[in-house]
Chain A
Amino acid sequence: MIAPPPQLSAPGIGDSVGHDLLEVSLGPHHPSTHGVFRMDVVLDGETVVKLTPVFGYLHRNHEKIAEKNSYLASIPYTDRLDYMCSMTNNWAYVLSVEKLAGLAVPERAEYLRVIVAELTRLFNHACLAGFLLQDMGALGTPMMYAFREREKILDLFESLSGSRMMCNYMRFGGCRCDLPAGWLEQAAKVAADFAPFLDQFEALLSENEILRARCEGVGVLPRDLAVNAGVTGPGLRASGVNYDIRKVDQYGVYSRFKFRVPLGGRGDVFDRYMVRILEMRESLRILDQALRDLPAGAILNPRVKLRNLRPKAGEAYGRIEAPKGELGFYLISDGGPAPYRYRVRPPSLVNLTVLEDMCLGHAIADVVIILGSIDIVLGEVDR
């Protein structure tokens, strides 16, 4: 069923110069929409006068499925939310269950979580930069360079968890398995090689005149609107709001690491690109410290019942700074083996609230890069 068409009879639209508006349905099968996402765009010439996002093409009612499953059985399902970043999805979910049931996590597991989460952030941001440049017309090269680096990190994940993308790695009270032999050295090497890659990437692109002309001043997101519309993650910080949940909540062991929170000034597409590049450099700093300080010890709290976990009746909301923004899980337990209510707070969906505001008045070619700069994954938007 197609959504009702936008009201073209609104005063001021189209009637001023006596020409017609064109309604274009961008997607759901369009490479630039990064999945099955549709935008109904109303154009005046090439200028966007109205944009309506249409959701639901990938809806499978993840939340309902989780209400039928045990707490443990939902962990692999969370991998499929933001299918680029299964590690951070796992973390947000197990963090909420740990809050709900009051479970402690061994120190080594906390460090391992930080390491895999920052590796995830690295390749998520690198791929986003690659995709964004692809959307701008830099065909092939930046994305292939980003995917080359991603491949190295996915190899690490594969040797750690057995799967490249659907890692299913974390458990309530720790992690599923310890590091294989030689993993730490390999990870340190990948991290060490990442900085030269970033330098090369930036030398190619960040100062590139065409790139700057294409994204500076495009898709500006004002600070107040960003806060009110619940935008989180790099998109929020590009608008100049210093809000990073790693700093605010200090979940896990993030309070032990030194890192800065990069901020943008104008909140345009270029700032959102640049904030991510800078965040990758901070992630490398965290990785260095975490790999250096990783303590020995257990990786799983032995007192936690993984199977047949039955938290006391009550509720909890836990959230982490996922690469795309605030990923939260809201769980209600009625004392049974499955959650009474299981809710995913998806950063990708909430960040799309301001898509229309950012696109109005820009050319249709800019819509594609504005959407690209928000960084969405439809597995999480539609759930």
Chain B
Amino acid sequence: MHTLEQIMARVTAALPGVRLEVIPNASPANQASLLLDHEHAREIAKFLRDDPDLRFDYASNATGVDWPEKTVKEKVKVKKIIDGVEKEAEELAERKTPGFLEAVYHLYSMALGQGPLILRLRTGNRTDRVALPSLTPIWRSCEFQEREIFDLFGIEFQGHPDLRRLLMWDNFADHPMRKDYAPADHQEAKP
């Protein structure tokens, strides 16, 4: 079993110019993941599948995650001049993290019995830059699952052979798995 760092080193040695980033995972599961850049995503995926030492021939799970824009309130230490004396004071600052949609892939190697290797792809935002490269040309197992992500999250997979809604009907407009989705006929139960 290769560590994530070893896999990263192999990929960057074979494919110069790729940008990879490790996304840590604080849970006891200890499943950190790799964030891929859009331009090289399919190239990297192909390498991971075909490299004789890695052979991630099986993409088990493909799914989406919605990360809406967040406002984080932080206490920031600032130096202020109060009554002519410079003092350190705490101030509440608001920081906005931009929202994005994420596609997550869990890869295993049936040939070598290793895994999971977790890949992530992130869109530019949640409105107009929601395209990601499809990995279906590399792993057919993503075909229906990417259609489901397109359907429920609204990520547009470029290069997907048949990108249609999977579970909702064709003229349905919204994406139900987004965090801000509200069904049109939704009525809150009144106590």
Structural contact, B104 and A230, CB atoms closer than 8 A: no
Over the window 115-156 of chain A, the binary record of Cβ atoms lying under 8 Å from chain B Cβ atoms (1 yes, 0 no) is 000000000000000000000000000000000000000000
Q: Which residues of B150-176 have CB atoms within 8 Å of chain A's CB atoms?
A: 152, 164, 166-171, 176
Bound-state CA distance A312–B164 (Å) is: 36
> Would A102 and B28 be within 8 Å (CB), given that A64-B176, A228-B139, A330-B63 are in contact?
yes
Residues of A within 8 A of B63 (CB): 330, 341, 343, 345
Structural contact, B57 and A228, CB atoms closer than 8 A: yes
Q: How many A-B residue pairs have C-beta atoms within 8 angstroms? Tell me.
A: 118
Residues of B within 8 A of A99 (CB): 27-29
Structural contact, B141 and A243, CB atoms closer than 8 A: no
Structural contact, B27 and A313, CB atoms closer than 8 A: yes
Q: Which residues of B113-149 have CB atoms within 8 Å of chain A's CB atoms?
A: 113, 116, 118, 139-145, 148
With beta carbons under 8 angstroms apart, the residue of A3, A349, A383 that contacts B144 is: A349
Within the complex, what minimum Cβ distance (angstroms) separates B173 from chain A?
Answer: 12
Residues of A within 8 A of B166 (CB): 55-56
Over the window 242-281 of chain A, the binary record of Cβ atoms lying under 8 Å from chain B Cβ atoms (1 yes, 0 no) is 0100001000000000000000000000000000000000
With beta carbons under 8 angstroms apart, the residue of A59, A100, A332 that contacts B168 is: A59
Structural contact, A229 and B106, CB atoms closer than 8 A: no
Binding site for A on B (CB under 8 A): 25-29, 31, 57-61, 63, 65, 104, 106, 110, 113, 116, 118, 139-145, 148, 152, 164, 166-171, 176-177
Binding site for B on A (CB under 8 A): 1, 3-4, 55-56, 59, 61, 63-64, 99-102, 225, 227-232, 241, 243, 248, 311-319, 326, 328, 330, 332-333, 341, 343, 345, 349-350, 352-354, 382-383
15 pairs across A/B with beta carbons < 8 Å? Answer: A1-B171, A55-B166, A64-B176, A102-B28, A102-B29, A227-B57, A230-B59, A230-B60, A231-B141, A241-B110, A326-B60, A345-B63, A345-B106, A352-B144, A353-B140
